[in-house]
Amino acid sequence: MSPLLPSRCGVARSANREPPPYRFPADFLWGTATAAYQIEGTQSDDWAAFEQDVIQHRRFEQLAPGKPRPGHIHRLGDYSQEIRQKKTDFDSRIEDDLAMAAAMGHQAYRFSISWARLFPSPAHTEPDPAGLAYYQRIFAALARGRMTAVVTLFHFTSPAWLWQQRAGRRGWERPDALFHWERFVRAVLHHFGEHMPIVCTLNEPMVYVYAGYLDGVFPPHEQRGAPQSVLPLVERLLEAHALAYHLVKADAARRGKSVLVGFAQHTRAFEPLRSRHPLDRVAAAVIERMFIWDFCDAVSSGTLRMTGTFFKKEIPNLRGTQDYLGINYYGRYYIKATPLTEPHFEVLMHDPEAPEADRPSDLGWASYPRGFRVILQEAARRYQLPIYILENGTADARDDDTLRRQLLVEHIHEMWLARRHGADVRGYFHWSLLDNFEWAEGFEARFGLIKVDYQDGFRRTPRPSAGLFSRIIAQSGLDEATCREYGLLSG
Ligand code: BGC
């Protein structure tokens, strides 16, 4: 159980007295995750509009690695129109890329379906045939490679037309947003429901809310101020999740199939920068609850509450709408209270006093495998549900990706420990199969097991981590040699 007030942990990974091997059950699902906008050819959606605006006004800056500047996409101008349009050129390589994943031993593939590709205009009452044909290729390639499809219905982007005002609102806040969402979800189910055993309704709703409406680094670039100001949007996303959950379950029941439905929650270990500082500790605790658990609690109980406020609202049909908990984990954030300046805290991506100890990624994010186990155990304690790791990875652009390899092994070890302590973790999806478009960080942050060479016609080259991941899958975990090679036995 996490303590009432977190303190800062001095070690990056957990001790383990049990000797290797650290194995996972035969039905544990290993795979990778991607998202439509990040790898596919551009559709007419809110992010495409943002990209065009960035190019037109030459807004290519960042404040610091990992800290995008609102309204900007880091170094986007360094990439040609062709690259910006094709992203990874996945469109012409679907079959090859997925055959490569299958050949690497991956058993599953998480991807998202672009709402704008299926419904490019509001006049489309039926999905666009070319859009359907596109996703048919993906499902067919997965079937050929005997890989389980894990489908995300919303991964940050929505059709451009949804951003025209209706009754003074746009995007998810339009009064008719759920009507259009339902049409999209029904279309996906009608055409692909047969092949969707695991569904993720929303990807990281709190990142979407925070980045788009508080921090302003994602469309629609709002900075609404107080966290309470985003509650109507959070409610709408919960309604969208509940609606999708019930549609997917009803579709599966009609087909006589079973399906697991959940959503993906972005998690970090939030720890006080100054361990003994009570305000840092309080701020870290409040942020963790608000950012990670409030949304999950709402889905579990049916009532949305916001930590630190008296807000409480029941959302119809929401209670218990998750069959599993989807966890995305990306390391540690340090919280520093700043009582005299809004918003009264600062988020640090690594400790500026001791950066080496944090092994920062190319984005400056502190690596913290131990936090992974802590979050998984906390999730298991809170909800007693199966858990799927829907994302975990790091930005490491090097051809010999030593950081990615090290972290891969350490996180799998922590996941094994979490299972040992009762967390029912059933699958692990590495972010990501390929280098891709990392939102406001542009093409610079490289998360792929497979490198994409943008200067050489999108050429694919597996990094050493791809081979390591294949070995881990083949051995259903970590054998002694791997543990030794990556220093797990030394401390
Ligand atoms: C998102 C991905 C993103 C990854 C790495 C997650 O927050 O779901 O779209 O690329 O983290 O930043």
d(CA 129, ligand 1 centre) in Å: 29
| pLDDT over threshold 70, residue 322 | yes
d(CA 310, ligand 1 centre) in Å: 31
Residues with CB under 6 Å of ligand 1 are 35, 203-204, 207, 266, 328, 391, 431, 438, 447
Q: Judge whether 200 lies within some domain.
A: yes
Across 279-368, where does the E strand assignment appear? 303-305, 312-314, 325-337, 345-348
Three-state SS for 429? strand
Best residue among 439, 441, 452 to mutate for probing ligand 1's pocket (most ligand atoms within 8 Å of CB) is 439
Read off the pTM: 0.98
Share of the chain above pLDDT 70, in %: 99
Task: Name the band, by pLDDT with cuts 50, 70 and 90, for residue 1.
Answer: very low
pLDDT at 164: 98
Q: What tokens appear for 119 in the block?
A: 């419904």
Residues 439-456: tens digit of each pLDDT: 999 999 999 999 999 999
Return the residue whose CA atom lies nearest to atom 9 of ligand 1: 35
pLDDT at 65: 87
Three-state SS for 108? strand
Residues 113-165: tens digit of each pLDDT: 999 999 999 999 999 999 999 999 999 999 999 999 999 999 999 999 999 99
106/136 Cα distance (integer angstroms):
20
> Which atom of ligand 1 has the smallest separation from the CA of 393?
5
Q: What tokens appear for 129 in the block?
A: 């045939």
CB under 8 Å, gap of 24 or more: what pairs does 480-486 form? Answer: 480/19, 480/20, 480/21, 482/20, 482/409, 483/20, 483/21, 483/22, 483/409, 483/413, 486/405, 486/406, 486/409, 486/410
Contact 208, 157 (CB under 8 A): no
pLDDT at 343: 87
Best residue among 431, 443, 444, 446 to mutate for probing ligand 1's pocket (most ligand atoms within 8 Å of CB) is 431
d(CA 210, ligand 1 centre) in Å: 13
The continuous run of DSSP H or E covering 118 comes out as helix 115-118
Residues 177-192: tens digit of each pLDDT: 999 999 999 999 999 9
Return the residue whose CA atom lies nearest to atom 3 of ligand 1: 438
Cβ neighbours around 406 below 10 Å, total: 21
Contacts of 130 (CB under 8 A, 6+ apart): none
Q: Judge whether 177 lies within some domain.
A: yes
Q: Judge whether 146 lies within some domain.
A: yes
Cβ neighbours around 107 below 10 Å, total: 17
Residues 218-262: tens digit of each pLDDT: 999 999 999 999 999 999 999 999 999 999 999 999 999 999 999
Range of the domain at 395: 24-268+387-485
Q: Judge whether 5 lies within some domain.
A: no
Return the residue whose CA atom lies nearest to atom 5 of ligand 1: 438
Q: Judge whether 359 lies within some domain.
A: no
> Which atom of ligand 1 has the smallest separation from the CA of 363?
12
Best residue among 363, 391, 444 to mutate for probing ligand 1's pocket (most ligand atoms within 8 Å of CB) is 391
Contact 273, 336 (CB under 8 A): yes
Return the residue whose CA atom lies nearest to atom 12 of ligand 1: 438
82/4 Cα distance (integer angstroms):
51
Return the residue whose CA atom lies nearest to atom 7 of ligand 1: 266
Task: Name the band, by pLDDT with cuts 50, 70 and 90, for residue 3.
Answer: low
**Mean predicted lDDT score pLDDT of the chain:** 97
Residues 383-422: tens digit of each pLDDT: 999 999 999 999 999 999 999 999 999 999 999 999 999 9
89/349 Cα distance (integer angstroms):
31
For residue 220, cis peptide bond before it (omega within 30 degrees of 0):
yes
Total domains, the chain: 1
Q: Judge whether 327 lies within some domain.
A: no
Give the CATH number for residue 45: 3.20.20.80
Question: Which 8-state DSSP code applies to residue 440?
Answer: G
15/35 Cα distance (integer angstroms):
34
| pLDDT over threshold 60, residue 491 | no
The continuous run of DSSP H or E covering 299 comes out as helix 294-301
Residues 28-54: tens digit of each pLDDT: 999 999 999 999 999 999 999 999 999
269/110 Cα distance (integer angstroms):
24
Q: Judge whether 144 lies within some domain.
A: yes
Return the residue whose CA atom lies nearest to atom 10 of ligand 1: 438
d(CA 23, ligand 1 centre) in Å: 27
Cα distances (Å, whole numbers) of residue 140 to 131, 143, 146, 200, 256: 14, 5, 10, 20, 21
Task: Name the band, by pLDDT with cuts 50, 70 and 90, for residue 213.
Answer: very high
268/272 Cα distance (integer angstroms):
13
Q: Judge whether 480 lies within some domain.
A: yes
